[in-house]
Amino acid sequence: MPSFMHFREADLLRIRFAVSPLWETQEAVRTLKRPDRHSYHQPWLRRIRREAAGLDLSTLWLLMPHRGHTPDFLGPPPIGPAASFEEEIAAVRAADPEAARHDMAWALSCTPGAAESEQGRALIKDPARAVQELADCLERAWHALVEPEWPRLRALLEADVAFHSRRLAETGLEGLFADLHPRLSWADGTLTLATTSDHVRDLGGQGLMLMPSVYCWPDIVTGFEPPWQPTVVYPARGIGALWAEPSDSAPEVLARLLGPGRAAVLVALDEPAGTTALAHRLGLAPSSVSAHLSVLRDAGLLTSRRYGHQVLYERTPLGIALAGSRD
């Protein structure tokens, strides 16, 4: 069941990018609850283990079903292209209590028994208090989980915005959307997301916000309900090197495991790249790099996808873990 976003002429003039520290905080909290995301963020998880243990995130987690709606007011589209966390959390605190009640009730209905739980009933009974307590919890999570890493995260997110802004100029909307995520496609003025839920929205001249995210990896998120700005949150490029310490060469233990050539190719894939770019970077023949890429992909360490006339390779969670290993 695909999700459709229909563009009018005015919407084509209002496509823009943004970065959101509040969104990253919400998704960091979700990542702690999602074991399927842990392999991408093991170094971060190790660093924040003590801080995370001191946080009570149970109420936020109650509103974050694995499948279904999460309240939009907890992670709304950013209010500007470079809003601070303080500006964004102030907008959360200003949420209308009755709208928040509806938003929370919808989220609770996506998890069997959540609405009847003591926490769920308390949220619905006093939404004004719930909004402030949830904002407090998000603020504590920001300071403990995300703020210490924010310079690193912001640099990666801003690099992604710069890259895709160039892609938009070079390839137009069809090329841009195809590069953001394999489940996105563009045709006849409609952006389609292959998903498990039905969603149809006419952008109505509001345009579209495009927002890269570190912690939402490997998911893609859309479907913000009116009156929220239509937004697509997509996985940022280069996450494979986000937590790794810089290294000029493949670790010796990895070279012994894979062979020096394949180890060098795996370590060099800090961001998605094609055969020619990797060959130039490593000083190897394209035929050798192509052979190494095929073996690494067949071993489950890489994935590949076509972009225009080239094939881009990217590390899988197992590939990320191996590339980040040290002697």
Reduced to 3 states (helix: H, G, I; strand: E, B; else coil), residue 36 is helix
Provide the pLDDT for residue 29. 96
Q: Is residue 69 within 8 Å of 14, Cβ to Cβ? A: no
Provide the pLDDT for residue 324. 65
Provide the pLDDT for residue 327. 41
**Distance, CA of 284 to CA of 10 (rounded, Å):** 48
Q: Which two tokens stand for residue 104?
A: 């929370």
Provide the pLDDT for residue 118. 95
Cis peptide before 76 (omega within 30 of 0): no
Provide the pLDDT for residue 309. 65
In sequence order, what are the residues at sequence separation of 6 or more whose Cβ sits closer than 8 angstroms to the Cβ of residue 72? 103, 224, 225, 228
Cis peptide before 218 (omega within 30 of 0): yes
User: Average pLDDT over the chain, rounded to whole?
Assistant: 87
- pTM (predicted TM-score): 0.76
Question: Which has the higher per-residue pLDDT, 92 or 312?
Answer: 92
**Distance, CA of 40 to CA of 37 (rounded, Å):** 6
| Residue 25: Cβ-neighbour burial (10 angstroms; 0-12, 13-18, 19+) | buried
* Of 154, 159, 164, 18, the residue nearest 81 (C-alpha): 18
Low-confidence winner among 41-50, 138-147, 309-318 (lowest mean pLDDT): 309-318
Is the predicted pLDDT of residue 98 greater than 70, yes or no?
A: yes
**Distance, CA of 298 to CA of 304 (rounded, Å):** 11
Domains and CATH numbers, the chain: 3-16+161-238 (no CATH), 21-151 (no CATH), 244-323 (1.10.10.10)
Share of residues in the chain with pLDDT > 90 (%): 43
3-state secondary structure 233-294: EEECCCHHHCCCCCCCCCCHHHHHHHCHHHHHHHHHCCCCECHHHHHHHHCCCHHHHHHHHH
Give the tens place of pLDDT for each residue, 23-48. Answer: 999 999 999 998 888 877 888 998 89
